[in-house]
Structure 1
Amino acid sequence: MSAPASRGNDAAITAAALRSDRFRIEREADWQRLEEILGRMEKGRIARLSDADLLDLPVLYRTVASSLSVARETSLDAATLAYLESLVQRAWFLVYGPRSSLGGWLRRFFGGEWSRSVRAIWPEILVALSLMVVGTVVGWLLCASDSQWYYSLVPGQFLDARQPGASREVLLGTLFGNQSQPHLSIMSAYLFNNNAGVAITCFALGFAFGVPPLLLLIQTTTTLGSMLWLYHGQGLTVDMIGWLSVHGTTELFAILLAGAAGLHVGRSMAFPGELSVLDAAAKAGQRASVVMAGVLIMLAVAGLLEGFARQLIDNTPGRLVVGYGMLALWLGYFTLLRRVPPSSEAE
């Protein structure tokens, strides 16, 4: 490399270093003040912050974010960029991030936020419940009119011994005597994944103005009606209801709420009122997302009940007690718990 070129490179490096130093000197006071405030907050010393510190926090955050943008565009030194990126990330979390710890969020969620969100969509719950009843009745009547409908309405995994023409003893064998079935935990995980897929699909389709959830709810319950018809033909209706109720009161309740949440979003988009479609969908989506968080919890409980309790409890009265006890628990929570505790500060 020639001497003039070398001197030119050295001059460019020196100029860049000076520019970086000048940039830091002009703004470093704001960076240091923001870092001091963040340090106190991260150590749980929010009470020691002055009113001026709290008021300046979002202003300082925007100032440092602007500094980071300028530093990136002007290709300042890597150390300055790394420092500013770290500072902006910490500030973003404290300014815009969650205001409560995980424990605080759980207390608020189970302390009334979930139940309040469910009660807020009660019109859609009534519609979804009506559709599920209709689907069950339609499945029963179709199979009663022509048994070939059973093969169209019932998924393949249930078409083992549970088919039209099966004897009472064969059908009884599918309901009882499975306590020693291996790999119950694997079955529980599979059932949760399957049911969660149905519920999430039902909710997600609500963005198509609520029509697909209506069809999915009916389709899901036609299977239930078909299987009830099959066992009724051998005088096993009560035993079948007991077999289903262990997990079904929780599982079907969860699917009901998921369908209602999807309908709520779809209805808000179809009839936004004074809001724009996007604003109405966003508002409904916030409420529906709380409902769906609870739905996933219910489905996890249903998966455990279906994978373990239904196999281990080998009598109809015990299954009915567990199933309808769970239903009473859910109904009691949604109807009686109305208070929403205030958000907790980050611990």
Structure 2
Amino acid sequence: MRESLFIKKNLSRWKKYQEEHTDDPDEMAERFVSLLDDLSYAKTFYSFSKVTRYINGIAAGIYQRIYQNRREEVGRFQLFFRYELPLLFRKYHKLLLFTLCFFLLFCIIGAFSAAHDETFVRGVLGDEYVNMTERNIAAGDPFGVYKRENPVWMFVWIANNNIQVAFFCFIGGIFLGVGSLYFLMKNAIMLGVFQFLFFAHGLGFKSVLVIWIHGTLEISSIVIAGCAGIILGASILFPGTRKRVDALRKGAKDGIKIMVTLVPILTVAAFLEGFVTRYTTMPLALSLFILLASLTFILGYFIFYPIYLHRKGYALSAEGKVLTPFMRSKQLP
């Protein structure tokens, strides 16, 4: 192709790229790739021409904008929480559903057993706790346990305890997932018995409004931690095309990413339990607001947002890198 024809064919597009800037990263990437193709052609056939330097200048400008935006707008921290972690959850949604169903099953078993055997409640929760709760109910303050201690001390102790429980759920996955299932079963039965104790005294709805102010984040985190442990166990049992040690390393890496995310969530849950749950007579609207806000966050970030990203075309590579819709289209044959 003659140089004049090459310029005439592409000049309007080059001017558009030069004069009409865009902040869309996918659009910038597409323009950059297109200019690289033109630059490669120009260097091959018109290496000493001004058009080669002209195209190179436009491409350099777009390159700088791409990496300037990457540094300022999509840092590693933001990239992790905005794309990488939600896409990781999307990858394991079926496993998360299994974990949730397993947990709910043993919650029901715990409540059913408590309803048919009075000694089961004391066997699970302990005589001291049951006696204290019954005294509080008789005194007209059924949730007085949340008011007994200093809120700061409660917050620190509860945060430490909940994080430990979550990590036990995760680390138990190294035993082929059995350890994680055991901790999930144990905590699910306790929850079922605990809730039955209040429902049996006609305080079911009130217990939901009080206890689940912090329980929504806390219990959700335990279930997600159990899922992380099962991911670890499944990586050993089902390595796929990887060597078993490489699959274990990948499963552990994915699980640790999930657990890092749960630490601040469990900390917030402990804060709510230590400082907010003690106000058992708070207005109904405020209690519902906190409960629904927590539930919206859990469902939104761990369920619906990952589905949204997946439908938009985002994905994770085998190495765990975020692939944008544009990058994925370039991988297609």
TM-score bracket, normalised by the shorter chain, equals 0.5 to 0.7
**Aligned residues with identical type, % of pairs:** 25
2 CA distance for matches of 1:204 and 1:154?
A: 24
Letter matched to residue 92 of structure 2: I
2 CA distance for matches of 1:260 and 1:313?
A: 32
CA, structure 1 residues 333+188, in 2 after alignment: closer, same or farther (shift >3 Å)?
Answer: same
1:150 to 121, 126, 139: 121
Q: Does residue 259 of structure 1 match 2:259?
A: no
1:187 to 145, 151, 154: 154
2:102 to 131, 136, 139: 131
Q: Does residue 141 of structure 1 match 2:112?
A: yes
Contact 1:231 1:240 in 2 (8 A): yes
1:203 to 165, 170, 194: 170
Letter matched to residue 305 of structure 2: L
Written as runs of structure 1 = structure 2, the 5 A alignment for 1:12-91 is none
2:142 to 151, 174, 178: 174
2 CA distance for matches of 1:314 and 1:308?
A: 14
Write out per-residue CA displacement over residues 119-177 of structure 1, whole angstroms, 9 at most, x where no aligned residue: 222122111111111111111111111111112211577344225xx68444x513269
1:329 to 280, 283, 297: 297
2 CA distance for matches of 1:109 and 1:185?
A: 31
Contact 1:310 1:319 in 2 (8 A): no
Contact 2:165 2:222 in 1 (8 A): yes
CA, structure 1 residues 198+239, in 2 after alignment: closer, same or farther (shift >3 Å)?
Answer: same
Contact 1:250 1:298 in 2 (8 A): yes
Match of 1:275 in 2: 242
TM-score (norm 1): 0.63
Match of 1:249 in 2: 216
CA, structure 1 residues 236+289, in 2 after alignment: closer, same or farther (shift >3 Å)?
Answer: same
Deviation at 1:265, TM superposition (A): 1.1
Letter matched to residue 336 of structure 1: Y
Contact 2:154 2:274 in 1 (8 A): yes
Letter matched to residue 228 of structure 1: Q
Q: CA RMSD in A?
A: 2.9
Letter matched to residue 299 of structure 1: L
Unaligned runs of 5+ in 2: 1-70, 316-320, 323-333
Deviation at 1:319, TM superposition (A): 2.3
Stretch deviating more after TM superposition (114-123 or 221-230): 114-123
Write out per-residue CA displacement over residues 254-295 of structure 1, whole angstroms, 9 at most, x where no aligned residue: 111100000011012111122121111111111111111111
Letter matched to residue 161 of structure 1: M
Contact 1:167 1:234 in 2 (8 A): no
Contact 1:313 1:319 in 2 (8 A): no
Match of 1:107 in 2: 78
Write out per-residue CA displacement over residues 85-126 of structure 1, whole angstroms, 9 at most, x where no aligned residue: xxxxxxxxxxxxxxx99x933322322222222222212211
CA, structure 1 residues 308+160, in 2 after alignment: closer, same or farther (shift >3 Å)?
Answer: farther
Deviation at 1:321, TM superposition (A): 2.4
2 CA distance for matches of 1:191 and 1:156?
A: 21
Match of 2:11 in 1: none
- Aligned to 2:202, the other structure's residue is in SS state coil
Q: Does residue 292 of structure 1 match 2:263?
A: no
Q: Does residue 304 of structure 1 match 2:271?
A: yes
CA, structure 1 residues 117+158, in 2 after alignment: closer, same or farther (shift >3 Å)?
Answer: farther
Deviation at 1:234, TM superposition (A): 1.6
Write out per-residue CA displacement over residues 33-72 of structure 1, whole angstroms, 9 at most, x where no aligned residue: xxxxxxxxxxxxxxxxxxxxxxxxxxxxxxxxxxxxxxxx
1 CA distance for matches of 2:137 and 2:149?
A: 25
Letter matched to residue 196 of structure 1: I
Contact 2:133 2:145 in 1 (8 A): no
TM-score (norm 2): 0.65
Match of 1:234 in 2: 201
Which structure's CA Rg is the greater one?
1
Contact 1:117 1:288 in 2 (8 A): no
Which structure is higher in RCO with an 8 Å CA cutoff and minimum separation 6? 1
